[in-house]
Chains A and B, each alone.
Chain A
Amino acid sequence: MDESIELRVNGTPVKVPPGTVVAAAVARAGVVKFRTSVLAAPRGPLCGMGICMECRVIINGDAHSRSCQTLCAPGMDVWTT
């Protein structure tokens, strides 16, 4: 498969094919917890369609970005919380 897009998830380089969303890149990097809830529980994507906000991560410094609705781009810097 054409894995031509390279980005970083929590500092680790990940290669993904074009058309991959950031949420999928996070999962491919082996990260299960996308964010920490108010009561410190791990959370990951629920709705997959931009509504629940559970998949929000920091993309290129932009906090609260919906990883399920954002396509990966070369050099993206993604951090889970």
Chain B
Amino acid sequence: MKTYHFEIVIVGAGPAGLAAACAAAESGKRVAVLDDTPWLGGQIWRGEQARPSISQARKWIERFRTTGVTLLDRTSVVAVPRRGLLTAEHPEGPRAIRWQQLILATGARELFLPFPGWTLPGVMGPGGMQSLVKNGWPVAGQRVVVAGSGPLLLAVADGLSKHGARIVSINEQAPFAQVAGFGLTLLAHPSKLWQGIQIKWRLLGIPYRLGVWPVAAEGDTQVRRVTLTNGEKNWTENCDALACGFGLVPNVELALALGCRLQNGFVQVDKWQATTVDDVFCCGEPTGIGGADCALIEGLVAGYAATGQRSRAADLFYKRAHWHHFRERLAKAFALRTEVRQLASDDTILCRCEDVTLARVRRFSGWRDAKLQSRCGMGPCQGRICGAAAKVVLGWEMESVRPPILPARVEALLVLNGNSNGPAASPLSKT
């Protein structure tokens, strides 16, 4: 097993991770950033490395490159065998990574809620579809219905139409009154307001409906029709793809594995972005869904604080408070209505990995009980999709994670026994 030693290790190369790396590098310490993907920029800036279109993303990626920070890409953390050590998977074999200070910048994923037909090919997360399109997924000429919740819906519709997709409609579950208040909030965040105006301008002619949500998707081998509702009447729209997501959920699995305390589902941090575990910091979406600007500031604070540059970190507190205000408004504006928590019928699949229906898990008392008795959450995504859905639909909390936190090769797991060197060359293949 290949072993690395760094003073500062940052997990995630999105806005928060890049900012943390830039700040930490100023200390002169040995810093590394790990990321799951072959790219810099995380999911929000995916594709920016190859074809820059967002000046902010280009600026940060360039700044990161001048720091001399080591990038360990295609490296997925699978376990935390003990303090100061991470084990990770890489296409060329397992990795052991030693750290003195750890900064978690693990980002967020989309929230998927089950409704009849949500498992059909062609039903994708809006952000996920956007990411795939940036890496060659064909959408030109396709009819796409966009639905769910959050500011991402408009941005994605804009991105997809630039790639030649025909956006049929954009459907936001939050009612007008809720979203209108958010519009006023943007007056305090002019850069966001201007972004929004530009996007809406380009999307003129495409219906952006508020207080509308999907109730079913249909098709034989892939999605062909979507039924939408405004709570009073239902109607059906034909499509080739449905981009549907109900906002973002933080990736807190690694934080949980490290023993960090959560608060309302987010990683609890102090003013220095320090978690409840010594020498472990956290920044960006895992501490609260605030978007890239918020993540950048938190990343800088974490990077400075983790390397003893506290006065530089403190200089950013005022700016961070500004984006935390934005973050609170965002959560209120796009709060989920009761109806979207109840879209699944009894025979709707809840756990896609193991094909467990909602009816089969409903009778259990909680997440753990359901896992043990129905295999819900026991598949390769390890409950990342259905666990987040169960929290919203059934009110169940996922309290802990077990290693490996991602499916891993046996070689990567051998280090869990405490032998960080692992076997020199293992004949074991993938589990």
By secondary structure, the B interface counts as: loop
Total CB contacts across the A-B interface at under 8 A: 121
Residues in A1-53 with C-beta less than 8 Å from chain B: 16-17, 19-21, 23-25, 27-28, 32-34, 37-39, 41-53
- Complex: how many Å from CA A37 to CA B352? 8
How many chain B residues touch the partner (CB < 8 A)? 43
Q: Could you say which residues of chain A place their CB within 8 Å of the CB of B120? A: 42
Q: Is the CB of A68 within 8 A of B138?
A: no
Q: A20-B136, A24-B132, A47-B385 are in contact. Are A53 and B379 (CB under 8 A)?
A: yes
Interface assignment of B368: CB less than 8 Å from any CB of chain A: no
The answer to whether B381 and A51 have CB atoms under 8 Å apart is yes
Contacts of B127 in A (CB 8 A): 48-49
Q: Shortest beta-carbon distance, A63 to chain B, in Å?
A: 6
* Count class of interface residues, chain A: 35 or more
Is the CB of B411 closer than 8 A to any CB of chain A? no
Q: Which residue of A lies closest to B49 (CB)?
A: A19
**A46 contacts B124, C-beta separation under 8 Å:** yes
Contact A48 to B379, CB < 8 A, known contacts A41-B355, A43-B119: no
What are the residues of chain A within 8 A of B129 when measuring CB–CB? Answer: 48
- Taking the complex as formed, is A81 at the interface, i.e. its CB lies under 8 A from any CB of chain B? no
A61 to B48, CA, bound (A): 31
Asked if B121 and A51 sit within 8 Å, CB to CB, the answer is no
Given contacts A28-B136, A33-B121, contact A49 B43 (CB under 8 A): yes
Question: Do A51 and B385 touch across chains, with their CB atoms under 8 A apart?
Answer: yes
Residues of A contacting B: mostly: loop
* Cβ-based interface call for A77 (8 A): no
Per the bound structure, the CA–CA distance linking A24 and B123 in Å amounts to 15
User: A50 CA to B353 CA in the complex, in Å?
Assistant: 14
Known: A24-B137, A25-B136, A32-B222. A47 touches B110 (CB 8 A): yes
* Nearest B residue (CB) for A55: B132
| Interface set of A (CB-CB < 8 Å, partner B) | 16-17, 19-21, 23-25, 27-28, 32-34, 37-39, 41-54, 56, 62-64, 68-69, 71-72
Chain B residues with a Cβ under 8 A of chain A: 36-38, 43, 47, 50-51, 74, 76, 109-110, 112, 119-125, 127-132, 135-138, 221-222, 251, 352-355, 379-381, 384-385, 407, 430
